[in-house]
Amino acid sequence: MYRYDEFDAQFVAERVAQFRDQTGRRLAGELTEDQFKLHRLMNGVYLQLHAYMLRVAIPYGSLRSKQMRMLAHVARRYDRGYGHFTTRQNIQYNWPALQDCPDILADLATVEMHAIQTSGNCIRNVTADHFAGAAADEVADPRPYAEILRQWSSLHPEYSFLPRKFKIAVTGADRDRAVIQAHDIGLQVVKDASGALGFRVWVGGGLGRTPMIGHKIRDFLPEADLLAYVDAIVRVYNLEGRRDNKYKARIKILVHEKGVEPMREAVEAEFAKGPKGLTLPADDVARIRAYFAPPAHAARPAASEIVAQRRGSDPRFAAFVDTNVAKHREAGYGIVTISLKPIGGIPGDASADQMDVVADLADRYSFGEVRVSHEQNLVLTDVALDDLPSLYDALEAAKLATPNAGLVTDIIACPGLDYCALATARSIPVAQRISERFGEGERARDIGELKIKISGCINACGHHHVGHIGILGLDRKGEETYQITLGGSGDETASLGDLTGPGFSTDDVVDAVETVVDTYLGLREGADEDFLAAYRRVGMAPFKKALYERDAGREI
């Protein structure tokens, strides 16, 4: 993983000192809220429904065990003993006092962490495939490029006050696990015919109140041009993006209003003006890549006898291996998803004790590294298959072994009206009730892969537009109402979900989801046809009929 050099360390330390001074002056009444708010937000401190909220950056979701222990320490010492992992692979604390925030940031700086650019109209935390570096289907590890983008975009003087926030995601595999097409810029690492590394580039994706799937504007961008080309995109956006209307200020609106071809031409024209010193020197790419060198895997047999034995005697362990362990590029290793979605639990929440357990297990079983996924789970990327039984037992003891990765109960949910000042309805209780309804038994496994994503307002932090089943909570005349969309997808076949029709009350929404699932089970062409495939085959009609014409159906 990347390590701070002396400049990084000094920069973050200076930033903490600045914020300590700013906070002190605010508390002393020397700064008004209007004067202070910008500084507060630039350091990740929001004011939410019940308290301040601190969002800490986890670049491309990668953490060392020592950093995870620090996150646990912050939760325990300054918060209420837990934290919430987010869809930007960051962590949020729900209850920090403003007066403690400088100390929290100072503690985080000791392990090379900060909260810079986790808010504001700047380039936010660059996200990446959470299986990066380990996935069997990967062309190259996307994290070195995410790190290069992070260094370039941190406090970039030209891009600190963009028309609106700006999000970049990078993946290194054909299978998109990083939702790149729903980002302002999505990058996929690919190789050309000669074997040289480069990128496919998408622009203008985004969710929120005006959801759009990104448009591919480059089939192959040479590796060395990464920064020059991304710079050209952001420059065009910075010049032409709307600043008159906050709700039309994202690059997706510019691309939509300008047109994809004119946007491509504008970017290429800007890019053609010359590299402006941004051509990546191969030595520098190699230097950054070295930080992400694969760990020293041992030569191991492809199959594990120990796992096979345990599977035979322990169905839950077998379910865990089937759902939560993904194929690793190295024989004899697996990628383990640690579900933060216990049945009936709060999606993405982890206690300080659980964070410590994960840090210890990372040290023992996965070369001391942890990943945060945008699906609000944690990942150990390099686990020897022979270690799976003991890892599973340790996870189970910490209530972290729910065998549901990718299943109906592996739900993304934003904090919703339980925490968020912007929310219009609660998200978490809906997720909890759906989770309890389906549980972790045979039925949930039979349903297969099904991604439910829930947002508590149209800002769509819960990614509901790209959920196979998306749920959007709204306030309708003082009552929580939930709209359902079907057929959304955040993978390489990205699509926005279709609205089923009128929304459902909080009492009815879980039944409605179950109706959708039962309808799918009744019409699928076999267990191999997952929900998304079935929906794409049959369309909305049977689901709509089941949801809204149940009574009519009974009369026939």
Partner 1 sequence: MPQIVTASRLADGVVVFLDDGGGWTERLDRAAIFAGKADSAAGLDAGRTAEVRSLVVDVYAVDVALQAGVPVPTKLREAIRARGPTILPEFTKPGSTPAQVQEDDHVSV
Interaction site with partner 1 (CB under 8 A)? 26-29, 33, 47-52, 80, 96-99, 346, 417-419, 423, 426, 428-429, 432, 475, 478, 480
For partner 1, which is the closer residue by CB, 258 or 426?
A: 426
For partner 1, which is the closer residue by CB, 96 or 211?
A: 96
Q: 38 Cβ partners below 8 Å, 6+ apart? A: 120
Q: 377 Cβ partners below 8 Å, 6+ apart? A: 85, 130, 337, 338, 339, 340, 341, 405, 410
CB of 362 to partner 1, least distance (A): 28
For partner 1, which is the closer residue by CB, 382 or 480?
A: 480
Task: Please tell me whether residue 331 adopts helix, strand or coil conformation.
Answer: coil
The string of DSSP codes covering 513-528 is HHHHHHHHHHH-SSTT
CB of 23 to partner 1, least distance (A): 10
Both structure tokens of 259: 């047109």
CB of 137 to partner 1, least distance (A): 37
CB of 509 to partner 1, least distance (A): 15
For partner 1, which is the closer residue by CB, 418 or 491?
A: 418
Q: Are 248 and 258 in contact (CB under 8 A)?
A: no
CB of 27 to partner 1, least distance (A): 6
Residue 25 carries which side chain, given as an amino acid letter?
A: R
For partner 1, which is the closer residue by CB, 47 or 318?
A: 47
For partner 1, which is the closer residue by CB, 337 or 432?
A: 432
For partner 1, which is the closer residue by CB, 418 or 529?
A: 418
CB of 344 to partner 1, least distance (A): 10
Between CA 378 and CA 385 the distance in angstroms is 18
Between CA 550 and CA 518 the distance in angstroms is 13
Both structure tokens of 77: 């010492």
For partner 1, which is the closer residue by CB, 93 or 292?
A: 93
CB of 443 to partner 1, least distance (A): 25
CB of 43 to partner 1, least distance (A): 14
CB of 429 to partner 1, least distance (A): 6
CB of 29 to partner 1, least distance (A): 4
For partner 1, which is the closer residue by CB, 361 or 458?
A: 458
Between CA 155 and CA 495 the distance in angstroms is 33
Between CA 282 and CA 223 the distance in angstroms is 9
CB of 462 to partner 1, least distance (A): 15
Please provide residue 386's backbone torsions phi and psi, each rounded to the nearest 5 degrees.
Answer: -60, -20
Residue 264 carries which side chain, given as an amino acid letter?
A: R
The string of DSSP codes covering 98-137 is GGGHHHHHHHHHTTT---TTSSSSSB-PPEE-TTTTTBTT
Q: 374 Cβ partners below 8 Å, 6+ apart? A: 61, 87, 88, 89, 127, 130, 178, 179, 412, 463
Between CA 383 and CA 476 the distance in angstroms is 48
Between CA 433 and CA 342 the distance in angstroms is 12
Task: Please tell me whether residue 480 adopts helix, strand or coil conformation.
Answer: strand
Between CA 303 and CA 289 the distance in angstroms is 30
Between CA 472 and CA 508 the distance in angstroms is 14
For partner 1, which is the closer residue by CB, 380 or 413?
A: 413
Q: Are 424 and 473 in contact (CB under 8 A)?
A: yes
CB of 436 to partner 1, least distance (A): 13
The string of DSSP codes covering 39-76 is HHHHTTEEE-SSSEEEEE--GGGEEEHHHHHHHHHHHH
For partner 1, which is the closer residue by CB, 74 or 280?
A: 74
Residue tagged 């699928």 (tokens): 524
For partner 1, which is the closer residue by CB, 98 or 285?
A: 98
